[in-house]
Every structure is written in C-alpha cells, then in structure tokens.
Amino acid sequence: MGYRRARKTCPACQVACMAAVILCFLSGGSHASDLRRSPAVCAVESAQPAVVNIHGQKTVTWSQQERQAAEAARRVNGMGTGVVLDERGYILTNFHVVDGVREIQVTLADRRNTIARLIAHDRQEDLAIIKVDVDGSLPTIPIGTSADLMLAETVIAIGNAYGYEHTVTQGIVSSLHRDVQVSETQYYEDLIQTSAPINPGNSGGPLLNIDGQMVGINVAVRAGAQNIAFAIPVDRAIAIATRLLSAQRLNDTWHGIVIDSEGGDSEGAVVRQIQPNSPAETVGIEPGDRIRQIGRVTVKRALDVERALLGLAAGDKTAIEIIRDGNSQSLELQVAASGRSSAAPPRTLSPLQQKTWDVLGMSLEPIPTDDFQQRQTPYSGGLKVISVRRGGPADRQGIRAEDILVGMHGWETASDQDIRYIVSLPRLSEMGPIKFYILRGTDTLYGHLRVPRRVSNVMPTTR
C-alpha cells in the first residue's frame, strides 16, 4: 500500500488562520470574529480575487423536439465564470460559456467591467481562453493538483450562480473518474463528482480544495438531482490551457522546451525533453534541468513556461534560471520563429495540395507504407503535415508541421485519394466542425476543424 503525499497548505492562509486563533486565545475569546476565520474562509479569500463573472447574449437553437411550431431560436442571457491564469488578463473558462456570445462581458473581482475577446478554445474538451485588457496586473488563481484528491475531502465552488456573482458553496468529493453524457454532442470523461451545489452560471469557475488551490473547473450539474455536480480535473484543464496559450500557437515562436507532465515544485519545473536544433538546445538547456525562473515568471509547470514566453517576438531574448545538479545557472534564451504556420504555401503545389491548403489550411504529403508501419499504430496509413496556413482551420486547432493526419470524420486519410474525396465533398462546410485525428510522436490527438463556407469545393480532376 502506497503512502499519500502530504498536502502543502498555502503559507499565507496558514499564517493568517493561525494568527487569528492565537489572537483570540490570548484575548480571552473577545475576538470571536477572528475565531470564525476557518480554513474555508481563508481558502475563499485566497482564490476569490482571481475569479471573474462572465455575461453575454447568445442565440440558442431549439432541437426538433423542442420547436413545437414556436420560434426557431430565441435570445438568452448567457452567464458563466472564469479564472485568471495570467496577470495580463488571460482567463480560463468553459467553451460553452462563450460559444456564440456576441460580446463577452466580464466583471472582475474588484467590480470593474470590461469586454473580453476569445483567444483560443477546445470544443471537445469544453475549455477556452479569453483575454481582457485592463490597467495593472490581475491576481491569478492558486493552482493545485487533482492527482491526489481524496473521497470525502472538502471542496469549495465559487461562481456566478444564476447571475449572483461570486456565490460560494461547499461540499465534498463524492466520486472520481466519472464519465458523463450531457447532450447528443457533448460527452465528458474522467470528471470529479462533488456535492458542492452549483447552478447555471457556475460553469468555468473554480473548484477549490481547503487550501484555496484550484483542483477543478466546474462544468455540469445533474438536472433534477440534489448536490450532484461535476468538474474537469485541474491537471487536465491546465494541460489543455497550456496548449491553448502556447507561444507557438499564439505568437508563432519556438523555444523547444518540453516540461515533465508531473509538474514541479519550489525548485522549478523539470525539463523532460529538448527539441533538436531548438533555441533551448542552443542555449544549453538539458533534460533533467529544473527551470526556476523565466523573465519575471516563477516556473512550476509547463503553463508557466508558455506564459513567460507569450508575447515575445522571434529574436527576442529573456533571462532564464535553471537548477542543474543542485547549482543555479543563469542563461539567456532567444526565441525563434517556429515555422509552424505561414501566410503562403512553402512551394508550388499541385491542384490537390492547393485545394487542401485552401480548405483545411495545411499542406500534406503521403508517407510510404513501410515507413508508416514502423510506427506500430492501429491506423493503416497517414498524411504528413508539411506546413500550416497561419490563421487557417488547422492552425486554429493547433495542428503543427510534422504531425500525421490519420483520419477525418469517419474516413481514414492514408492516401491522396482519401484527402481528395474529403475536400471535394460538395457540402463539406455544412457538416459543422469535422473531427480529425493526428499522430504527434507517440500520442494520438483529436480536434474539430471548421471549414469556411466561402471555399469552393469544385476542383480539377487532374493531380
């Protein structure tokens, strides 16, 4: 039987709570309000400044069963919650909170109102990054881990419940690893089930542990039930946020650092891999190093690396502090252009390649059968991504050069004939977001491409 890692209490909260108890004891109990400052109160005080409320109007389309000869759509007031991940105003929320919202209105914890813009999203995982531009730095949410959650441990939800901003509720972890189908199109895997009451408007808000650290993103509630709610585990949510906020995705810059997925600690985040010929390799960073600081950002996880390098242009330099063999070293990292996306295809393309570039936003080439079979995958073949069009459908979903496209919708993509059939479909753009599957290293990833309607699906019959 293994031993569970002792949880680290937030030092500031621990000191404040202990001081309040000591003060009350020394004063003979005259400071009753200090004695009421429980760990739950401290947890909320620690996290609440980084919680925002989201409002907006969206159009909801009724299903066939709901229509009943009434109006085909109706306007509703959308509401939700978000958490600040970066002091410059990058906020994590559920994608369904902002999907279709004409104007994303955000109320900060200090009551300031502002408008946010959608930066990136993952429809399947139901997560999105939005950005507000405000004066000064915003407080950021303390991030914990969902890896060591215990059944029955206390959790706290903060959210914009039914428009009642910063509503706080408390419960316990009821179960772990729940799979939940909430609609015909939305299915969640591996959720946290909790008894903390949540309501419409809580979506995108934090689920906290008793130390005030975010351990989940509240996402759904069981209709008609009492105190059955669900949250996306924070470890998965932060991994997705890291991808959505990556400097390569948003700035088209490259650093080449791959951080261990287990995260780090006060000594920094552990480097798992350095990509060949990358800026990180050039400056001398090695696997096993711990990155403690990049610029002004203290690094504990992969998200911190991306936050620190976000906004730097190709050629910009920043200080980086690493720990190697117990010794601190100061280096200077110069980010480079990623070459992941471009405004134009890299070379003269055939009619099929040009059509793929226009429709999907990427150029592809077949992989020889023998080479593909050496990968020992369940797929019969794939098409290698050569380049990605900046701002195109593939780029918006984070597809990169060197990825291997192995499937789209219900079709495999093992040959030119496969991709020809797909991009030539007359009503491809009307099929909605098209699910795709790619191989990246040893991982199989998926997402949803939205094909622009303005692209003609007529193409020459010649190659």
Query: Among all chains, which residue has been given the structure tokens 């007529």?
Result: 458
Provide the phi-psi class of 154: left if phi over 0, else alpha when psi is between -120 and 50, else beta: beta
| Active centre residues (catalytic) | 96, 126, 203
- Which of 1, 12, 8, 3 shows the shortest CA–CA distance to 263? 8
Under 8 Å CB-to-CB from 344, ≥6 apart: which residues? 389
Strands (E), 295-354: 297-298, 317-324, 327-334, 336-337, 341-342
Helices (H) and strands (E) in the chain, counts: 13, 27
Under 8 Å CB-to-CB from 190, ≥6 apart: which residues? 177, 178, 179, 233, 236
**CA 109-112-114 angle, 5° bins:** 115
Cα–Cα distance measured from residue 341 to residue 338, given in angstroms and rounded to the nearest whole number? 8
Cα–Cα distance measured from residue 153 to residue 165, given in angstroms and rounded to the nearest whole number? 25
- Which of 437, 424, 449, 401 shows the shortest CA–CA distance to 354? 424
